[in-house]
Homo-oligomer: A and B are copies of this chain.
Amino acid sequence: MRGKQRYYCKSCDFHFTITEASTPTETRRHHEVTIMDIANQLGISKSTVSRALRGHADIHEATRKMILDLAQQLDYQPNPLANALLKRRTNIVGILVPEFRHYFFPTFIMGAQEVLSKAGYNVMICQSDESYETEVANVKALLRSRVDGLLVSITAKTENFDHFRAVMQKEVPLVFFNRVCPELDTPQVIIDDYSGALQAVEHLIEQGYRRIAHLAGPVTLQVSRLRLQGYIDALQKHQLPLDQDLIVYHDLTEEHARICTRQLLDMPQPPDAIFAVNDPCAIEIMLIAKQRGIKIPQDLGIVGFSNDPISAIIEPSLTTVEQPVWKIGEESARLLLEQMERPKVEKRMLATRLIARDSSLRGKS
């Protein structure tokens, strides 16, 4: 191989540097085999090994082969930590969701993960658990972990967005999905909530329901507001009166959904149909109605939103608005990847589609 000692010349006169034996007697028990192990064992420098492994030019074919062979034999695995430290990128994407009990978020994650892992990214998942404080803490933790990008669906309680402004200020690519943040100008992937809600309520009207209630979500969430607006506009379009008492807001917990349902059903003039902001709470409505012996869809029509798998299974089957969850995941991931290439604020909206099932089909009446 090439010599190892070299002279130095700052402003002349070369003082050579005698690299004495650095006691490479035994292999120095490593936890993991490093590039230096290969270099030492082959009597060459780590630079050369790195170059060979990186597939650089400027290296003799024989040397390259030797290095590659030994690397394989030792099962050398490059250390991503060292790499991340140097390159300032971890190849990790953070995903922050409010929960993962129901169908939506796990499915979203599967879709996103498929795209991301194909692009060479690992994923770090956090749940805010619908707590604003946890959300802030999670964002901080993900930032501290130096994630290369962030996929976020906010909490129903999030009203202050400074933690996301901090993300943007650090220029960490950020994509919101589903529960987005209207006052921040960031890329996002949403579905057409308004039109979905409009379809849902028009469907109820077509089926002859006239006193239609809406079990809404928290007003803090844009999704809730849009679905509410769809509800309102559908009534207006068909010249039905808008009764504020028929709109109840709940905090997306099952418990509160039950309370609100009872409130609606206990009215002096109870509604003859309920449009629920999502399927889990539509199902709570259905359970209570069944428990009370209310006939669905004859006495009460029910429509949900999101098409959770359980909606097709429950009896009567639940009419709902389909949203392409898996695709939302894929799209969000793709948008994030594009974002990491070159920043540009882009908002994508996916279509929704009504799936009419038994819970609202009573024919014309």
Q: Judging by beta carbons under 8 Å apart, are A58 and B123 in contact?
A: no
Does A267 touch B at the CB level, under 8 Å?
no
Interface size on A, residues (CB 8 A): 47
Distance A297 CA – B294 CA, assembled complex (angstroms): 24
Within 8 A of B (CB), among A282-326: 283, 287, 310, 313-315
Q: Judging by beta carbons under 8 Å apart, are A124 and B127 in contact?
A: no
Distance A287 CA – B313 CA, assembled complex (angstroms): 8
Q: How far is the CB of A218 from chain B (nearest CB, A)?
A: 22
Distance A77 CA – B81 CA, assembled complex (angstroms): 17
Q: Can you report 8 A-B residue pairs in the complex whose CB atoms are below 8 A from each other?
A: A9-B14, A31-B88, A32-B146, A77-B144, A81-B84, A81-B85, A101-B107, A122-B145
Does A90 touch B at the CB level, under 8 Å?
yes
Q: Which residues of B contact A350 (CB under 8 A)?
A: none
Distance A56 CA – B123 CA, assembled complex (angstroms): 34
Within 8 A of B (CB), among A81-125: 81-82, 84-85, 88, 90, 100-101, 106-107, 109-110, 113, 122-125
Return the contact of A315 from the options B1, B58, B315 (Cβ within 8 A). Answer: B315
A57 nearest CB neighbor, chain B only = B1
Within 8 A of B (CB), among A156-210: 170
A95 nearest CB neighbor, chain B only = B125
Does A80 touch B at the CB level, under 8 Å?
yes
Q: How far is the CB of A259 from chain B (nearest CB, A)?
A: 19
Q: Judging by beta carbons under 8 Å apart, are A125 and B127 in contact?
A: no
Distance A12 CA – B113 CA, assembled complex (angstroms): 59
Q: Which residues of B contact A77 (CB under 8 A)?
A: 140, 143-144
A11-B14 in contact given A144-B80, A313-B314 (Cβ < 8 Å): yes
Q: Which residues of B contact A345 (CB under 8 A)?
A: none
A2-B100 in contact given A13-B12, A77-B143, A310-B313 (Cβ < 8 Å): no
Q: Which residues of B contact A313 (CB under 8 A)?
A: 283, 287, 310, 313-314
Most buried by B among A1, A56, A82, A145: A145
Q: Which residues of B contact A40 (CB under 8 A)?
A: none
Q: How far is the CB of A279 from chain B (nearest CB, A)?
A: 12
Q: Judging by beta carbons under 8 Å apart, are B310 and A79 in contact?
A: no
Distance A109 CA – B101 CA, assembled complex (angstroms): 10
A75 nearest CB neighbor, chain B only = B166
B interface footprint on A46-59 (CB within 8 Å = 1, 0 otherwise): 00000000001110
Q: Which residues of B contact A314 (CB under 8 A)?
A: 313-315
Distance A208 CA – B79 CA, assembled complex (angstroms): 62
Distance A90 CA – B11 CA, assembled complex (angstroms): 45
A308 nearest CB neighbor, chain B only = B310
Distance A313 CA – B90 CA, assembled complex (angstroms): 44
